[in-house]
Structure 1
Amino acid sequence: MKNLQFITVQTKPFQVYRILLVLALILSSSSCSDFVEVPLPNSQLTGTTVFESELTANAAMAQIYAQLRDGGILSGLPTGASVRMGLYADELQDYTNSTIALPIYNNALTADNATVASLWTSSYSQIYNANSVIHGVENSTRLPIAVKNRVSGEALFVRALVHFYLLQIYGSIPYITGTNYEINRKVTRSSADEVYTEIAKDLESASTRLPENYSSSDRAKPNKMVAKAMLARVYLYMNKNTEAANEATTVINSPLYAWETDLNKIFLRNSKTTIWQLASATAVRNSNEGTTFIFVSGPPPVCALRADFMNAFETGDQRKVNWTKSVTTGLNTWNHPNKYKLRTATTSSQEYSIVLRLAEQYLIRAEARAKLGDLAGAKEDLNKIRTTAGLPIITSTIATEILTEIQKQRRFEFFTEHGHRFFDLKRSGTADGILSVSKPGWNSSDVLWPIPELELNANPNLQPQNTGY
């Protein structure tokens, strides 16, 4: 029988991190009665376990979800993309004055910056773990087919998701699908088109394996619609607008979701607009985003919303009223994101960290429809967002005006959510025109972060460095 352990090893080029390593150990020639199951507290694998029961397969994925929540790009902590990309673009102002955050805020990154390295290494650690789960589950001889499909589907989704964010930040990257150290240490970077193709392939495979319904009541484990929602985004970024619209429509029409008109209920744990979220670490904790963004007196400990961002809200936009909050100390006033309302623990968790939600699917479909010439359909989707925000409907019949309005609504709908704003500026080709005005340190080459210097030194196949670094 084969055992699995989480152990710490030295791995290059992805440095030292916790990885999931399959160890082929011959325990005995007897039956499964010789196997002793190890309790798995708090969604973390400890000790020796195997991919031959649903319990331990679920625990392996729970460990990966915990890693996503507490480290790397998707974390709601100050080290994650919601803060880092908000600083890098035009959403947030830094108040830490730290040697790590200031270069991000000032668009003055170097290849030896700690955040540049940590986002890369933590992300590839998560990808490695997902690959280990995929291989371990698929090689299991005892897991039922339905369990193998679900767990491998979850891991495929995670692998695609993390590669997607790496691609947006670093540009051409290696797409890692294996766990062989000798192969991984010599990998080369794939073009953006090649990476998108692999991401789409993984998401398509995940959608065929994942169940229609959620396997947990809190929507913290991906189902088929989660994979399709992410696939809709990927197709939009690939300019496959027909496919993007079709996938978004499938999600929108699912009976699992319902539109919410109360802006203060959208980020609650039980919101019907949530497609996928990361559960809190304990039953009483709330989102990392609430802890990170909310402050009750100034100056802000981490960051605050920029004044030019606050001033850009359209008159009457209820998202400004409900999703931002002002804090005054003495003569100074700051504003923080207030999508998540709770910064401390409660009797039971009321807010999780939402990664995918229904509003994005409407705006994906609106953009895809506008690009396909279906302006009436685009406006219908766009106006659903506007009316919920308390804004009047738009009536324009000009495609470029509708597309501009869609980008505007994306800015105020998804601010401080995992880098949406910066990624939208990049893919729309407007980053230079906008950020060169609002960010004095901005250069055209800043649309990509540098590849970490340590990685280039460890694996020359990752050369050349991104332009400007």
Structure 2
Amino acid sequence: MKKNILLLVLLAAFAFGCEDFLTEEPEIAVTNNNFWKNEKDVESAVYGMHSVFRTVFGDVVMLYRDRGMPFDFMNALWQYPSNNQPSYMWNASYPAIDWRNEYKVIAQANLVIDNVDRANLPQERHNYYLGQAYCIRAYTYFYILRAWGDAPLIKESVDVGEKARTPWQELADFAIEDLKLAAKMLPKARDLYDAGNVKVTSKQIPSSGTAHAILAHLYAWKAALNNEPELNKLSIAEADSVIKHGGYVLAGSPKEVCDVVMLGNSNEGIFEVDYQNMPGDLKGSGAFIAGACQRWPIQPLTTPATRRSLLRINNTTVMEMYMDESDERRDEYFYKLDSMAGVATSVTQGAAYISKWRGVVLNVGGSGDGTLKSYEDNEILIRLADIILLRAEVKAKMGDTPGAIADLNAIRDRAGAPLYSSAEGDLQEAIAKERDKELFLETGIRYYDIIRNGTFREKLRGKYKTLTEQDVADGGYYLPVGSGAFTNNTLMRQTLYWKRNGYAY
């Protein structure tokens, strides 16, 4: 069962209550003088940070930012951003391109980092809370730099005033230093305890393994996007720390991935947005990727003919992805893929029935009795299979073919799929396809994989295919900067590519 974590919001209300957080004084200046007296105060502040983090990184708007999902049909709201034509659906104030919420997470982390010393905690407990704040701040900057590229760097809670965009490489270096500190300060996941000495099992609470896992991704990103191949060695070293020493274990089968890992807080999970079936805790029925693409047989009161009007993936696409019939993910991630493919398209729409998320929560009582309320599944940000396949990718880039194959085969073996053969062709492409298969539709994975590996013209849609080298240099695969960033900030500048393509700021 999922461990109930106390996600207090005591200080969440203090996290820059004004809209323009870059130019207004924080509202917590006076409050700080009367707070931070003991561990309970610090714990409240840290859980307030996690509350903001969960709100921001569990928001359905985030899913629209993943423009690499392999659906064959998308409605317009999903289609145009996935074609790199966001201005067709998203105006300059649309929430999906507004980074102010991410900066609220950073503001909350800065609040903890700048004030935790006031409580005079024992070193171990001081490090436990400070390490969490470093880790959350670093992950958020990593998310920002991948989504928008250059962005303001806010280092302290008292750092106010107009801000220009800092080169993304500097943001990356800042996040790397945060993560190095967090990795030293935080215990392993199995050794996390709260202020009441109760074991913490939520994978939203960072451990040393979380910091190492984010570092593995961050080094791989900077190595590829900034042409620093020497960083690949560091990515592998960080992945080694997770795989060999983190205490994480792969689930036994794809069925266990769906039933246990996707539900959350499993031994395979490393970093997650934690949701539980409690009043006010779950998102709405449509506020989860499953709510947009899953109907029958997971969603109650549906039939095989229930229309899927937002997102669909064709049977033929799935069969091409999972070519071998022994691959157990065919019949776990998709319900009766082969037999349902033989049913008339007037019923199936020619599409596979996705069934990867199973933590259904129903409405009880009233007119909606028995209908879908939401999913209890966590948002899985990083899990062990992801890190193993990332290490395989980086090893392949560095010429460690045996090591890359061993990592690739570890995931294939778990799935019951055939082990890698040189007859398949390019090893790096085989690993990329394995990431597509294993991490199918998981939050923000495929798009950033494609950008990291430079295959966006081949694998993405629409205008991604025609991006020139100058377009790329001008930020063509980043998001445009939303209008909120320009409020009372004369130093802000729009990404050059998007200034030419639909965004005037």
TM-score for both structures, normalised by structure 2: 0.75
What residue in structure 1 maps to residue 203 of structure 2?
A: 219
Cα distance in 2 for residues equivalent to 1:338 and 1:131? 40
What residue in structure 2 maps to residue 372 of structure 1?
A: 398
Cα distance in 1 for residues equivalent to 2:12 and 2:74? 41
Root mean square deviation, CA, Å: 3.3
Deviation for aligned residue 1:291 = 4.5
Give a deviation string over 1:1-22, Cα, whole Å, max 9, x none: xx96724632425699xx8734
Deviation for aligned residue 1:198 = 1.0
Find the residue that maps to 1:9 and give its secondary structure. Answer: coil
What residue in structure 1 maps to residue 480 of structure 2?
A: 450
Deviation for aligned residue 1:357 = 0.7
What residue in structure 2 maps to residue 168 of structure 1?
A: 146
> In the superposition, relative to structure 1, how do residues 243 and 318 fare at CA in structure 2: closer, same or farther (>3 Å)?
same
Give a deviation string over 1:329-349, Cα, whole Å, max 9, x none: 7352544643321231599x9
> In the superposition, relative to structure 1, how do residues 350 and 457 fare at CA in structure 2: closer, same or farther (>3 Å)?
closer
Cα distance in 2 for residues equivalent to 1:336 and 1:185? 50
Once the two structures are overlaid, the 10-residue window that deviates more, 206-215 or 317-326, is 317-326
> In the superposition, relative to structure 1, how do residues 152 and 337 fare at CA in structure 2: closer, same or farther (>3 Å)?
farther
TM-score for both structures, normalised by structure 1: 0.80
Cα distance in 2 for residues equivalent to 1:96 and 1:416? 17
Find the residue that maps to 2:416 and give its secondary structure. Answer: coil
Once the two structures are overlaid, the 10-residue window that deviates more, 166-175 or 248-257, is 248-257
> In the superposition, relative to structure 1, how do residues 5 and 248 fare at CA in structure 2: closer, same or farther (>3 Å)?
closer
What residue in structure 2 maps to residue 107 of structure 1?
A: 84
Deviation for aligned residue 1:350 = 6.7
Letter matched to residue 439 of structure 1: G
Count of equivalent residues: 428
Find the residue that maps to 1:277 and give its secondary structure. Answer: strand
What residue in structure 2 maps to residue 315 of structure 1?
A: 323
Cα distance in 2 for residues equivalent to 1:308 and 1:190? 44
2:435 paired with 1:459: no
Deviation for aligned residue 1:456 = 3.0
Deviation for aligned residue 1:201 = 0.8
Deviation for aligned residue 1:255 = 6.0
> In the superposition, relative to structure 1, how do residues 334 and 22 fare at CA in structure 2: closer, same or farther (>3 Å)?
farther
What residue in structure 2 maps to residue 244 of structure 1?
A: 235
- Listed as ranges, the matches of 1:27-426 within 5 Å are 50-71=35-56, 74-75=57-58, 77-80=59-62, 83-86=63-66, 88-92=67-71, 97-98=76-77, 101=78, 103-110=80-87, 112-118=92-98, 120-138=99-117, 140-180=118-158, 183-212=159-188, 213-215=191-193, 216-239=200-223, 240-254=231-245, 256-266=247-257, 267=261, 268-283=263-278, 288-291=288-291, 293-296=293-296, 297=302, 298-300=306-308, 302-305=310-313, 309-316=317-324, 317-325=327-335, 330=347, 332-335=349-352, 337-344=354-361, 351-396=377-422, 401-426=426-451
> In the superposition, relative to structure 1, how do residues 396 and 5 fare at CA in structure 2: closer, same or farther (>3 Å)?
closer
Letter matched to residue 314 of structure 1: Y
Cα distance in 2 for residues equivalent to 1:69 and 1:394? 38
Q: Percent identity?
A: 22
> In the superposition, relative to structure 1, how do residues 434 and 277 fare at CA in structure 2: closer, same or farther (>3 Å)?
closer
Find the residue that maps to 1:324 and give its secondary structure. Answer: coil
Cα distance in 1 for residues equivalent to 2:114 and 2:32? 16
> In the superposition, relative to structure 1, how do residues 250 and 458 fare at CA in structure 2: closer, same or farther (>3 Å)?
same
> In the superposition, relative to structure 1, how do residues 214 and 340 fare at CA in structure 2: closer, same or farther (>3 Å)?
farther
> In the superposition, relative to structure 1, how do residues 299 and 273 fare at CA in structure 2: closer, same or farther (>3 Å)?
same
What residue in structure 2 maps to residue 439 of structure 1?
A: 462
5+ residue gaps in structure 2?
1-9, 194-199, 224-230, 297-301, 365-374, 500-505
Cα distance in 1 for residues equivalent to 2:449 and 2:12? 40
Cα distance in 2 for residues equivalent to 1:292 and 1:397? 37
Is the contact between residue 450 and residue 466 of structure 1 (CA under 8 Å) also seen in structure 2?
A: no
Query: Which of the two has greater strand per residue?
Result: 1
Give a deviation string over 1:397-443, Cα, whole Å, max 9, x none: 99x811111111112222322221111111211112322xx436865
Letter matched to residue 462 of structure 2: K
Give a deviation string over 1:301-328, Cα, whole Å, max 9, x none: 6433466752531312332321234798
